[in-house]
């Protein structure tokens, strides 16, 4: 067998392009005769536009068009989401204003300067109505979201929670809240739309899902899907915000159709807070109860999250509570309240990130009531099988994550009493929490091709949002083809390539990787067949089983001097290339298993007792996520996720003015993401795990699990340091004084 590339810490294959600044992101594609578009956003959060004065804007030299609801073409599908990722969009169809910053006009000009200047001259007059952005004002009107096909139901109930609570020894009842957070990938959403005639459209778009975007846009504009091409070679981070087709993509396409020009539309950082989604705020009520020895007897988790008036997205925070611990009596629910805000969306570990804060904080509280070590409490209630789905796990190595993480961290040095550990004046606290994330797989296709020069080309639609898709797919393909990575070229980000799912839910490695693997193996099998059954050659007449592939050469297993290169096989048989396209479905064995990745965080914080400043000083996190395809890119994903958790715990919060429902933290000066100075030393333990059932490649996905549990681990450490339980994120100084 060829020396395996999968698992090796291969450098990013696109790394050179990135360090030299030559990776071409969507807004940077050179397109002829491109016009620049700038969106004008509403300055109220609810009401109607009574007048729009665009005269001055139109007079700015270079302005090609000013689109408003008075002249924009109708887009019948704008308010008809059909797929899970689809959103209702606001694309100048009427005079209604539904949220702060909603697009109310689009200025198109020859240069960005002219477009921006003209946009600043558009004058809107409104009839404003009172807008509500505080959840507690609407909580009485809470409603249950509709059950979506293929997704867990909003409510669950197993056992008899009331009976269990009546006899429990220890019990915690608490309300936890998480704030609205904006993803803020460093690359703003951008699109270049090019209509060729009336019925062909090309979009260069910063998206996590080229095929989902194609479907949504082709329907909305009544185009044949095959006449819409979406290209996205590099995406500057997504984290969920680029998983749906938002208003600006439609607007760019409308402008291109209206002006007959290519139109480039890069939204501003301020607009990143307006109409491209966010993690909704949640209010979560948790009851956790145990018997004297720490056995969990009841868990109740009631979640209310916020959504817009016109669309529905529920943050599934309680799903994690259904499956994480062996508890016989568990009741969960999700409710929504409508506010005068834009629609929220998937944000890194949607549900798990916010829900684990509540669940894992409550367990920590329970551990103090029980006078039990928080880690011991988790071990006591270790779920050997999935208590919700009532199925075995495809693999679960969480116990090793707990023990290895705890050992590396020095958890045994924790003194149980809060406020009992110090470093000089600083209060020191230890906190831990469990991490988990579902391991999904969706249907995906891939094509592999070996060419007569002995190199390979492998194609799958897909996206690389910074996660390392290019790199791991190259590794998977090389192994499957029996070639070295240098000879394999993997390409993605184009709807003319085989169809693949959205890069979200940590499913790209699993879904696309399985298809790539199978396509590569199919080509290898064909080559072997040709070598043993085709025209002549040193391996002719052998059985296929007797032949191995090694770095692009077929070798006889019995007599290693007998070999035949891929080039030679193709040439002898008069072929230019050999290719296979594979449509890979979910692996059949998944049905009988519950599939999740697991992990454990151990975090040390130092808190200034006088000023309440919290510094995360040490993180040890251990993960078992199936096969680790590339230790370097995986480590990056884990660390990146943990730092997102740090932001969730300590910094990030999109604030609205309750009087107007407008966002006041509309840039990176006011919306605080973690910076160099906030980040401690992080020790990542990757626990080996073999999973034969989860998918063809045994990898569970590493993009999201890193953030899960970090909010609680930090809050728990803060409690241990200070004796103050903060149940409302982010943990800012004022909450500790």
Query: What are the residues binding other proteins (CB under 8 A)?
Result: 11-12, 14-25, 28, 30, 60-62, 111-114, 117, 184-188, 234-237, 239, 266, 268-269, 465-468, 632-633, 635-636, 639-644, 667-669, 673-677, 679, 681-682
User: Would you count residue 466 as binding ligand FES (CB under 6 A)?
Assistant: yes
What is the rounded distance in angstroms from the CA atom of residue 223 to the CA atom of residue 302?
43
Least distance (Å) between residue 237 CB and ligand FES:
5
- Could you tell me how many residues of this chain bind ligand FES (CB under 6 A)? 4
Cβ proximity to other proteins: between 563 and 636 the closer is 636
180 contact, one of ligand FES, other proteins, none, CB 5-8 Å limit per kind: none
Q: Which residue has its beta carbon closest to ligand FES? A: 186
Judging by DSSP bridges, how do beta strands 456-459 and 681-686 pair with one another? unpaired
What is the rounded distance in angstroms from the CA atom of residue 257 to the CA atom of residue 388?
50
243 contact, one of other proteins, ligand FES, none, CB 5-8 Å limit per kind: none
What is the rounded distance in angstroms from the CA atom of residue 89 to the CA atom of residue 69?
13
What is the rounded distance in angstroms from the CA atom of residue 137 to the CA atom of residue 661?
13
Least distance (Å) between residue 20 CB and other proteins:
6
Which residues are bridge partners to 664 per DSSP? Answer: none
Cβ proximity to ligand FES: between 371 and 676 the closer is 676
Radius of gyration in angstroms for the set of CA atoms belonging to the chain, rounded to a whole number: 27
Least distance (Å) between residue 706 CB and ligand FES:
15
Cβ proximity to other proteins: between 6 and 92 the closer is 6
Least distance (Å) between residue 186 CB and ligand FES:
4
Cβ neighbors of 326 (< 8 A, separation 6 or more) are: 296, 381, 382, 383, 384, 387
> What b/e string do you get for 78-96 counting C-beta neighbours within 10 Å, with b at 16 or more?
beebeebbbbbbbbbbebe
345 contact, one of ligand FES, other proteins, none, CB 5-8 Å limit per kind: none
273 contact, one of ligand FES, other proteins, none, CB 5-8 Å limit per kind: none
What is the rounded distance in angstroms from the CA atom of residue 503 to the CA atom of residue 505?
7
What is the rounded distance in angstroms from the CA atom of residue 275 to the CA atom of residue 666?
12
112 contact, one of other proteins, ligand FES, none, CB 5-8 Å limit per kind: other proteins
What is the rounded distance in angstroms from the CA atom of residue 720 to the CA atom of residue 361?
12
Judging by DSSP bridges, how do beta strands 681-686 and 614-624 pair with one another? parallel
Residue 699, class by beta-carbon neighbours within 10 Å (0-12 exposed, 13-18 middle, 19+ buried)? buried
175 contact, one of other proteins, ligand FES, none, CB 5-8 Å limit per kind: none
Q: Is the peptide bond before 730 cis (omega within 30 degrees of 0)?
A: yes
Cβ proximity to other proteins: between 52 and 465 the closer is 465
Cβ proximity to other proteins: between 66 and 375 the closer is 66
Cβ atoms 97, 45 nearer than 8 A: yes
Least distance (Å) between residue 674 CB and ligand FES:
12
Closest CA to 526 of 595, 579, 589: 579
Cβ proximity to other proteins: between 82 and 111 the closer is 111
What is the rounded distance in angstroms from the CA atom of residue 370 to the CA atom of residue 169?
9
Least distance (Å) between residue 470 CB and ligand FES:
14
Here's the x/- map for ligand FES, 226-245, by CB under 6 A: it reads as: ----------xx--------
Cβ neighbors of 689 (< 8 A, separation 6 or more) are: 395, 397, 624, 625, 626, 627, 700
- Which helix (H) or strand (E) element contains residue 29? none
Cβ atoms 322, 332 nearer than 8 A: yes
Here's the x/- map for ligand FES, 134-173, by CB under 6 A: it reads as: ----------------------------------------
CA angle (93, 95, 99) in 5-degree steps: 95
- Give catalytic residues, as residue numbers: 704
Least distance (Å) between residue 465 CB and ligand FES:
9
Cβ proximity to other proteins: between 462 and 594 the closer is 462
Q: Which DSSP letter does residue 78 get? A: G
360 contact, one of other proteins, ligand FES, none, CB 5-8 Å limit per kind: none
Cβ proximity to other proteins: between 277 and 468 the closer is 468
Cβ proximity to ligand FES: between 454 and 645 the closer is 645
Cβ proximity to ligand FES: between 47 and 243 the closer is 243
Q: How far is CA 440 from CA 378, 463, 484, 594, 706, in A?
A: 25, 17, 29, 10, 16
346 contact, one of other proteins, ligand FES, none, CB 5-8 Å limit per kind: none
Least distance (Å) between residue 680 CB and other proteins:
9
Q: Find the binder of ligand FES among 166, 186, 675, 737 (CB under 6 A).
A: 186
Least distance (Å) between residue 290 CB and other proteins:
35
Closest CA to 416 of 395, 427, 430: 430
Cβ atoms 129, 78 nearer than 8 A: no
239 contact, one of other proteins, ligand FES, none, CB 5-8 Å limit per kind: other proteins
Cβ atoms 75, 254 nearer than 8 A: yes
Cβ neighbors of 277 (< 8 A, separation 6 or more) are: 87, 183, 240, 241, 244, 246, 313, 342, 343, 344, 345, 346, 347
674 contact, one of ligand FES, other proteins, none, CB 5-8 Å limit per kind: other proteins
Cβ proximity to ligand FES: between 47 and 466 the closer is 466
Least distance (Å) between residue 618 CB and other proteins:
12
Least distance (Å) between residue 466 CB and ligand FES:
5
Region class of 715: left (phi > 0), else alpha (psi between -120 and 50), else beta? alpha
> Within positions 315 to 344, which residues make up the interface with ligand FES, using CB under 6 A?
none
First-to-last alpha carbon distance for the chain, in angstroms, is 62
Q: How many CB atoms lie within 10 A of CB 285?
A: 16
Would you tell me which residues interact with ligand FES (CB under 6 A)? 186, 236-237, 466
């Amino acid at each position: 067998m060829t020396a395996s590339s999968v698992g090796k810490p291969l450098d990013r294959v696109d790394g050179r392009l990135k360090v030299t600044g030559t990776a071409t992101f969507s807004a940077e594609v050179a397109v002829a005769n491109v016009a620049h578009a700038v969106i004008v956003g509403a300055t109220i959060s609810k009401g109607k536009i009574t007048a729009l004065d665009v005269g001055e804007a139109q007079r700015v030299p270079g302005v090609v068009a000013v689109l408003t609801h008075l002249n924009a073409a109708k887009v019948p599908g704008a308010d008809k989401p059909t797929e899970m990722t689809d959103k209702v969009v606001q694309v100048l169809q009427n005079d209604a204003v539904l949220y702060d910053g909603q697009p109310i006009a689009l200025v198109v000009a020859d240069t960005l300067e002219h477009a921006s200047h003209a946009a600043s001259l558009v004058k809107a007059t409104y009839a404003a109505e009172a807008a509500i952005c505080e959840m507690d004002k609407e909580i009485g009107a809470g409603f249950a979201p509709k059950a979506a096909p293929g997704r867990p139901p909003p409510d669950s109930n197993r056992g008899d929670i009331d009976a269990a609570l009546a006899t429990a020894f220890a019990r915690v009842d608490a309300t936890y809240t998480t704030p609205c957070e904006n993803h803020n990938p460093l690359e703003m959403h951008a699109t270049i739309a090019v209509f060729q005639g009336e019925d062909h459209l090309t979009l260069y778009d910063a998206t996590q899902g080229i095929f989902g975007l194609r479907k949504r846009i082709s329907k909305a504009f009544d185009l044949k899907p095959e006449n819409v091409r979406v290209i996205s070679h590099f995406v500057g981070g997504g984290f969920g915000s680029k998983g749906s087709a938002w208003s600006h993509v439609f607007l760019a396409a409308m402008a291109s159709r209206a002006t007959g020009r290519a139109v480039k539309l890069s939204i501003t950082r301020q607009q990143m807070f307006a109409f491209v989604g966010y993690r909704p705020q949640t209010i979560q009520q948790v009851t956790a109860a145990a018997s004297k020895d720490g056995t969990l007897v009841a868990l109740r988790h009631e979640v209310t999250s916020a959504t817009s008036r016109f669309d529905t997205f529920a943050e599934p925070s309680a799903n994690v509570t259904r499956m994480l611990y062996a508890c016989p009596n568990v009741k969960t629910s999700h409710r929504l309240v409508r506010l005068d805000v834009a629609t929220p969306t998937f944000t890194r570990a949607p549900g798990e990130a916010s829900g684990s804060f509540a669940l894992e904080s409550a367990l920590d509280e329970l551990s103090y009531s029980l006078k039990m070590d928080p880690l011991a409490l988790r071990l006591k209630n270790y779920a050997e099988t999935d208590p919700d789905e009532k199925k075995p796990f495809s693999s679960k190595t969480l116990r090793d994550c707990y023990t290895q993480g705890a050992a590396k961290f020095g958890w045994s040095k924790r003194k149980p009493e809060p406020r009992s550990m110090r470093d000089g004046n600083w209060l020191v606290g230890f906190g831990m929490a469990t991490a988990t994330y579902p391991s999904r797989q969706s249907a995906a296709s891939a094509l592999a091709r070996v060419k007569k020069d002995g190199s390979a080309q492998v194609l799958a639609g897909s996206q690389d949002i910074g996660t390392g898709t290019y790199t791991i797919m190259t590794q998977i393909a090389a192994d499957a083809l029996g070639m070295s990575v240098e000879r394999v070229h993997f390409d993605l980000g184009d709807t003319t390539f085989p169809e693949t799912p959205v890069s979200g839910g940590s499913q790209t490695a699993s879904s696309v990787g399985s298809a790539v693997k199978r396509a590569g193996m199919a080509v290898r099998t064909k080559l072997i067949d040709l070598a043993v059954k085709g025209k002549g050659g040193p391996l002719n007449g052998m059985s296929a089983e007797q032949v191995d592939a090694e770095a692009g050469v077929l070798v006889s297993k019995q007599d290693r001097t007998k070999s035949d290169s891929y080039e030679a096989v193709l040439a002898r048989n008069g072929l230019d290339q050999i290719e296979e396209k594979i449509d890979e479905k979910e692996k059949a064995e998944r049905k009988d298993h519950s599939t999740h990745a697991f992990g454990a965080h151990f975090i040390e914080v130092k808190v200034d007792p006088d000023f309440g400043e919290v510094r995360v000083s040490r993180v040890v996190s251990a993960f078992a996520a199936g096969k680790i395809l590339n230790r370097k890119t995986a480590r990056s994903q884990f660390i990146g996720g943990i730092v997102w958790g740090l932001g969730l715990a300590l910094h990030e919060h999109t604030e609205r003015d309750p009087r107007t429902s407008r966002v006041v933290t509309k840039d990176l000066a006011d919306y605080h993401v973690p910076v160099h100075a906030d980040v401690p030393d992080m020790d990542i333990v990757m626990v080996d795990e073999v999973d034969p059932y989860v998918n063809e490649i045994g990898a569970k996905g590493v993009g999201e699990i890193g953030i899960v549990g970090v909010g609680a681990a930090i809050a728990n450490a803060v409690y241990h340091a200070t004796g103050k339980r903060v149940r409302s994120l982010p943990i800012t100084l004022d909450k500790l004084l």
